[in-house]
Structure 1
């Protein structure tokens, strides 16, 4: 019997030692009160041993545990970043965490999508690989070098906008993380351009459209009383030119007030091969153009929410622009889809002469055109349509051809 008591006593002693060592390993402070025993255990930050008090009034209230967890001090910061990542993906600005050496530890989806990278592949890389800028132009690195945060500073490089940085420090004052948030103003700048175009459109539409309609109506009314050669002139030249002028006014008004997006769920690969493919097939044959498709099979499990007619308008405009610029007898156009993060990337590329570097920054501006009969509204309207679909539209070009990149959000297809 004594041996059983000794054994049980030894086990209880080991159990107490086990609990004590467990409490010593807890990295955060807490207070635990057991009112039925009249005891309180308090552990303060920076101490291993807790303080136990036995003078608590006993009553039948339930035991109470109070935690005082500081995520920065008491938890591995990598765990904090893993928790924050899906939340920061919802923020429509660039948010990047780097350590004191400029190495990326967190990159939200907006930053990855706008810079065209795989955000998971950026973790552990230097921030220059994300921004593709020299170190001396990266404001986050300047903030680290000066050991000072940046407050609402304007950035005037190709990432035009406002940047803020804040520091998270270790207990010794060294840098644990630099949090960089960048708010792009490019969209605001484009919105202002479209607003100006809209005001112009609204101002001229009423004054011009009514006289055009009147003239067209009288031409139709009187042409039966005129000689055949005049009737032919009216049908082949005058009325088509009036209709073309009316079409230009319609484009003006579309900039001022774009058509409503009648979105429906659809598979983007199916849209490209069937809806768009059927339209481009006959056009390509007539214009001596080869169209090739390279579609990501993973997208069969995703849908986009889009207005099919508006998307067709965008791609047909890109096709016509490419054909009008071709200088070789045969042009090759490739349409590629790719699943990237939570978006579909659609590359519309041609092997034409390219867009000169002196004008490529202006091709989306309303009324900018290099064609004698162009209104300069096609690409502006196309990008506006993509933006109304919560996407982006960009362009790259050199002497080997031009490539437009369209990005749209995708949603996993519900399983049956």
Structure 2
């Protein structure tokens, strides 16, 4: 078998032989001058033919090499397990891999030069999905940069597919649209796994919540049951028993109220209010309890007229929860709770610092989790609720603590514009 180079050499040789035969026949019948001229012309002709043969061979090899590279690239694209499509600036399909053709059931359709809406006529089941591509393509062109979205649709089999889609628009030098490259990875299984884990996590939380509720409500119910039995055996009902029973019922009511705050959205009235008014209200409520414990509540406010936009009652609830925790942490040993208010950029920073024993690092990281508490009483929902309220006000809570020195709770809330 001759190679490509061999065939080219053979063709060139045949041309030379033909020219030589013509040359010998011609000079046999001509005089010396005519023969000389013909020899020169023949040499030029043979040289030209050789030049054409060699360069033609080079172009052939180069063209076949480009064709080979194109075929290899096309095969690589078709072997991709992801969707890949190239469209021109007018939305016409230029290239799509085998995965994409099979996905949209277009394997028997000549897609080249057709738009999404035109291809939708060939595959009616996926018409809506293809029409959606027109809008998402336009969004990518308008963004003028890489765009990443999730696109979902049903297959004919009934399977629900979700794709992580990346669109890359490319432009000509004059800014006009050139081509749009779309890549899509099937993340359906990942989405199903995430949904399953989320459901499992929810069930776990429900189980934990149920256990916490049962434990916390059982305690006051046990007390109530005992006192009722005692009252049945007592002729004269004492006021002390009734007071204890009333307090236990209040405990149950508080537990249920806290759970409702976490379980469902609460109606809120958002308006502008001065933060120092809310703080003064809380201090007036808490100062009696603080005095009984020998604790002073000191306010250091650089910002007297800071205005917050939100639910004043909820912010008051957060301040009560945190100052109450500070008083509980210090107990009967006395000391000082310092509340510092300052303006930091466009936020109001509120620092509430106690002089308690501090919190060990291994426990500090769990603060704010439902049912985690450092106190003998309570469900550990106070800080969880406070976190939720502050987040809904677009703020944040940070807790710092040092053993033997105390704990500092830092709240940051955006100031009203």
TM-score by length of 1: 0.44
Larger Rg: 2
Report the structure, 1 or 2, having the larger helix content: 2
TM-score by length of 2: 0.44
